[in-house]
Amino acid sequence: MLKQKPTLSRRSFTQLFGAGATLAALRPAASLAAPAHRLLSTPTAAPVRLSSNENPYGPAPAALQAMTDAFGLAWRYPDEHADALVEALAKLHGVTAERILLGNGSGEILKVAAAALTGVGRRLVLADPTFEAIARHASVNRAEVSKIPLTADYRHDLAKMRAAASDAGLIYICNPNNPTASLTPKAELRAFIAQTPPQTTVLVDEAYHHYAESSDYESVIPLVESHPNLIVARTFSKIYGMAGLRCGYCVAQPEMIERLRTQQTWDSANIMALAAARASLQDAAHVAEGRRLNSTIKQQVCAELEQMKFTYIPSNANFLMIDLRRDVRPLIKAMGARRVEVGRFFPALPTHMRVTIGTRADMQAFLTAFRQIVAS
């Protein structure tokens, strides 16, 4: 079973995997262990990091063992491991292998999509706020970028996005959305995809898929089969706890996959990430426990915020957006001064603070610092 445990920056390697784990069983070489100064540091030596929507519980034990084993394969190119992961993902999603493209994190999928599908005369349409990376990539590609504000209840405004998309090469929809942790209802999204003209591609980013608990959410991967202009991106960075390893993928029809592949570096996913990702897919219990812990601790934090009379956007992810009712920038800085790192400033939501849901200890530290800054 998954245990609550702090990040590597706050505990020794042995502590990270619980008192019952044996260090030698998880790492055959000193290179995998934390540096000596970290091993000897106190729990308060590093800030509480709640700024990047990372999973504080880390990879599954099977993934850790796969990483360990992959050290002995570091001299080989990762082709066979990439093929094995593609086959596993194809089986998971009920598609053929030619409908899967791996990436160096889902971030690479966004980058190659922008390169392949946007440019001069091929606009990118996306929400504001949303995950910014693809807008930067499109701008580098000299594409015009249209940012459409979210609705009053923080859904993608699909009607306005469609109106702005007359010359769009790509429409980007992050669902659940980052940084708001909000959903766009499944029926609305399904209808939007069906009505998008074939010359415009819709990229749905499902990085936070596993955390969504609402009955009004569904993955759109099953729609790929009937929509040649649909790409669905996923990542191993969130529920699988592999943000530092960089492994992601997308599902699309074969012609689209080949179009994206032309923009990609060969062998962009490393052999350790591929091995760990494949092993992660076999540990459903780890995923379920990670979801349970995130949900339970998030509910506890929300209850505390409500007692303090603060509102927040209903969250279907592993983070919260809290409305502080004033310019949030000085408060973000004040949290950092108390060694609690929270999310960056989002201009479209200038009074909101984004905070990742960490362990219980992390969130206790957050609430202590939060009470201090809002009282000042």
Structural domain contains residue 156: yes
Residue 23 has pLDDT above 70, yes or no: no
Mean pLDDT, rounded, of the chain:
89
The CB-based long-range contact list for 31-34 (8 Å cut-off, 24+ gap) reads 32/67, 32/68, 32/71, 34/8
Domain that holds residue 50: 13-60+283-375
Please report, for the domain that includes residue 341, its CATH number: 3.90.1150.10
Instruction: Say whether both 293 and 275 belong to one domain.
Output: no
Mind spelling out the 3-state secondary structure of 72-96?
HHCCCCCHHHHHHHHHHHHHHHCCC
Q: Look at residues 280, 299, 319 and tell me which one is the last residue of a structural domain.
A: 280
Instruction: Say whether both 245 and 339 belong to one domain.
Output: no
DSSP 8-state class, residue 148: E
Task: Calculate what percentage of the chain has a pLDDT beyond 90.
Answer: 86
What is the reported pLDDT for 20? 31
- What total of structural domains would you count in the chain? 2
Q: Look at residues 264, 280, 296 and tell me which one is the last residue of a structural domain.
A: 280
Instruction: Say whether both 360 and 260 belong to one domain.
Output: no
Structural domain contains residue 296: yes
Token pair for 91: 């089986």
Residue 32 has pLDDT above 80, yes or no: no
Structural domain contains residue 82: yes
With b meaning 16 or more CB within 10 Å and e meaning fewer, what string describes 177-190? bbbbbbbbbbeebe
Residue 147 has pLDDT above 50, yes or no: yes
Q: Look at residues 262, 280, 298 and tell me which one is the last residue of a structural domain.
A: 280
What helix, strand, coil percent values describe the chain, rounded to 5?
A: 40, 15, 45
More confident residue, 1 or 272: 272
Residue 12 has pLDDT above 70, yes or no: no
What is the reported pLDDT for 45? 62
Instruction: Say whether both 99 and 54 belong to one domain.
Output: no
Instruction: Say whether both 317 and 252 belong to one domain.
Output: no
Structural domain contains residue 307: yes
What is the reported pLDDT for 376? 83
Structural domain contains residue 7: no
Least confident of 37-46, 92-101, 134-143: 37-46
Instruction: Say whether both 37 and 73 belong to one domain.
Output: no
Least confident of 27-36, 37-46, 184-193, 305-314: 27-36
Instruction: Say whether both 141 and 157 belong to one domain.
Output: yes
Instruction: Say whether both 149 and 272 belong to one domain.
Output: yes
Q: Rounded mean pLDDT of 158-175?
A: 96
Residue 36 has pLDDT above 90, yes or no: no
Structural domain contains residue 345: yes
Instruction: Say whether both 287 and 276 belong to one domain.
Output: no
Instruction: Say whether both 157 and 245 belong to one domain.
Output: yes
Instruction: Say whether both 100 and 232 belong to one domain.
Output: yes
Q: Rounded mean pLDDT of 266-295?
A: 96
Structural domain contains residue 4: no
pLDDT tens-digit map of 218-245: 999 999 999 999 999 999 999 999 999 9
What pTM did the predictor assign?
0.88
Structural domain contains residue 127: yes
